[in-house]
Amino acid sequence: MPKNITRRELFSRTGAYGGSAIIALQFPRALDAAERSTDRLVLSATEWQTVEAITARIIPTDEDPGAMEAGCVNFIDKALANEDEALRAQYEAGVLGIDTVSQTRFKKSFVDLNVDEQDTVLASLESGVATGWPTGPVGSEQFFSTVRNHTVFGFLADPKYGGNRAYVGWRVLGYPGSRHRSGGYTVEQMRGEADIVTSWGGKLPR
């Protein structure tokens, strides 16, 4: 017969900020190791360069940092090593595909194109009209959409996943950071009558 949960057990697991999660959940996660490590786990050196160049066009660097500075490619590498292992094949096919399209159109690899040429190639992938995209199980729209969403996640998810390095994504948005476990906000802060200090150190405009 299954083990019963007692009240004592429930409360031993409870408590406002109660330490680590005691029950083991099912997630293998990139977690904190990813934040510290930029070692390549899954992507080859070439794939890393190409994917990084794509992310840099999805959230470009301007007067504010972009996907490059946030380390979105590192986020993707760690995700492919863990939660999104199933998407590995898409990246393999996609990097080959985007280079084939770049060669067909501009006689160069994607990373060697200028930014306008890169945008042209990406737009053709997104709309599914990329001349030279290899026939196969991975469509260009699908690959584009995967990298696009991954880049957004890498820019905006908690830094523990290996992106949003030094909170640059949150800084670009003006999101002060997670507050649940650091005391929340005061009524004065909610009303704009007191400063909100952000995760990256500065104050939020109010």
Partner 1 sequence: MAGRDECDVCVIGTGAGGGVMIKELSEAGFSVVALERGPLLTPSDFTDDELGVVVRREIFGDQLETSRIDDQSPTQIGRINGSVYCVGGTITHWSAWSWRFRPEEFRIRSVEGPIAGASLADWPISYDDMEPFYEKAEWEFGVSGDAEANRFGPPRKRAYPNPPHPIKKSSQSFVNGAEKLGYHPFHGPTAINSRAYRGRPQCSYGGTCAFFGCPIHAKATSLSVCIPKALASGNLDLRPNAMVHQITIGADGRARSVRYLDEAGAGHEVFARQVVVSGGAFGSPHLLLNSTSPSFPDGLANSSGLVGKNLTLHLFPLLQYLVDEPTLGMTGINLTVAVDDLHDSDSKRGFIRGGVFGEATTSTPISHAMNAYGFPNLKQMWGRGFKDYLRTFPRQVAMIGFLEDLPVETNRVDLDPDVKDGHGLPVPRITHKQHANDLAMMSWYTDRMREIGEAAGAVDSWVPDAPFTNLTEKKAMPGAAGHFHGTCRMGDNPKSSVVDRWCRSHDVKNLWVVDGSFFPTSGGYNPTLTILANAYRVANHFIAEAKRLNL
Of residues 21 and 45, the one with the C-beta less far from partner 1? 21
Q: Please state, in angstroms and rounded to a whole number, the distance separating the CA atoms of residues 137 and 116.
A: 28
- Work out which of 47, 52, 53, 66 binds partner 1, going by CB under 8 A: 66
Q: Please name the amino acid found at residue 50.
A: T
Of residues 102 and 164, the one with the C-beta less far from partner 1? 164
102-161 positions binding partner 1, by CB under 8 A? 119, 122-123, 126, 148-149, 151-153, 156-158, 160-161
Count the neighbouring beta carbons within 10 Å of the beta carbon of residue 126: 15
Q: Under the criterion CB under 8 A, does residue 176 sit at the interface with partner 1?
A: yes
Q: Please state, in angstroms and rounded to a whole number, the distance separating the CA atoms of residues 191 and 154.
A: 31
- Work out which of 71, 97, 139, 169 binds partner 1, going by CB under 8 A: 169
Query: Bridge partners of 197?
Result: 203
Q: Under the criterion CB under 8 A, does residue 181 sit at the interface with partner 1?
A: yes
Of residues 29 and 40, the one with the C-beta less far from partner 1? 29
Q: Under the criterion CB under 8 A, does residue 22 sit at the interface with partner 1?
A: yes
Burial letters for 30-54: b for 16+ Cβ neighbours within 10 Å, e otherwise?
beeebbeeeeebbbeeebbbbbbbb
Q: Please state, in angstroms and rounded to a whole number, the distance separating the CA atoms of residues 47 and 119.
A: 18
- Work out which of 36, 86, 183, 201 binds partner 1, going by CB under 8 A: 183
Q: Under the criterion CB under 8 A, does residue 36 sit at the interface with partner 1?
A: no
Of residues 44 and 123, the one with the C-beta less far from partner 1? 123
- With both helix axes pointing from N to C terminus, report the angle between 115-127 and 140-156 in degrees, rounded to the nearest 10: 120
Q: What is the DSSP letter of 164?
A: S
Give SS3 for 47. helix
Q: What is the DSSP letter of 133?
A: P
Structural tokens at position 4 = 């019963």
Count of positions on this chain that bind partner 1 (CB under 8 A): 69
68-97 positions binding partner 1, by CB under 8 A? 83
Binding footprint of partner 1 on the chain (CB under 8 A): 1-2, 4-7, 10-11, 13-23, 25-27, 29, 57-60, 62, 64, 66, 83, 119, 122-123, 126, 148-149, 151-153, 156-158, 160-161, 169-170, 172-176, 178-181, 183-187, 189-192, 196, 204-206
